Structure 1
């Protein structure tokens, strides 16, 4: 599992890329990608194109990111989901809370 981030200050967006399994073991590294950014100051893009699995704790981590980013529509976008990951997000009604690309 690998988590990385790229900050584009000009566009006001933080891109968080996740590779492999996205589960509880990644709680701290995931939180570290955004905790030094002022709440509500940036938009976030979570790239799951290389994630092959996520569990309920990953869903909880995404909700914590949404809370940090602000709950306005479009503050957090999730992109690049495999069909299996997209199905999990839809079952959890995350398509109502996040923009899915």
Structure 2
């Protein structure tokens, strides 16, 4: 699966692939890079089985380009092991993980 983007209400939903990492960096940038500051994102992690450190960097860059502290980014449908990784990296303080 590749990254899929759709508009659902006020959120841009980005469905991520099984391996969320360096190999999809340009695709992730294309999916999120053309939206204005203040765009609300819902990142669907349902398919994500593994992610690497570059994925964490992509999430931080997305947060910065979508408004920094005031950004509205939801991380949804994450598996327990992915959720644990995000919490270990303290991403639960930067993103809304549902």
Q: Tell me the CA shift for residue 71 of structure 1.
A: 2.2
Match of 1:88 in 2: 85
> How many residues in Structure 1 have an aligned counterpart in Structure 2?
98
SS at match of 2:33: coil
In 2, distance between residues paired with 1:38 and 1:74? 12
Match of 1:21 in 2: 19
What per-residue deviation string (whole Å, max 9, x for no partner) do you get for residues 41-98 of structure 1?
A: x200000011100011000000111111112356111011101100110000000000
Match of 2:7 in 1: 7
| Structure 2: stretches of 5+ with no match in the other structure | none
1:54 matches 2:51: yes
In 1, distance between residues paired with 2:71 and 2:78? 17
Aligned-residue CA RMSD in angstroms? Answer: 1.3
Q: Is the 8 A contact 2:63 2:71 kept in 1?
A: no
| Structure 1: stretches of 5+ with no match in the other structure | none
More helix by share: 2
More strand by share: 1
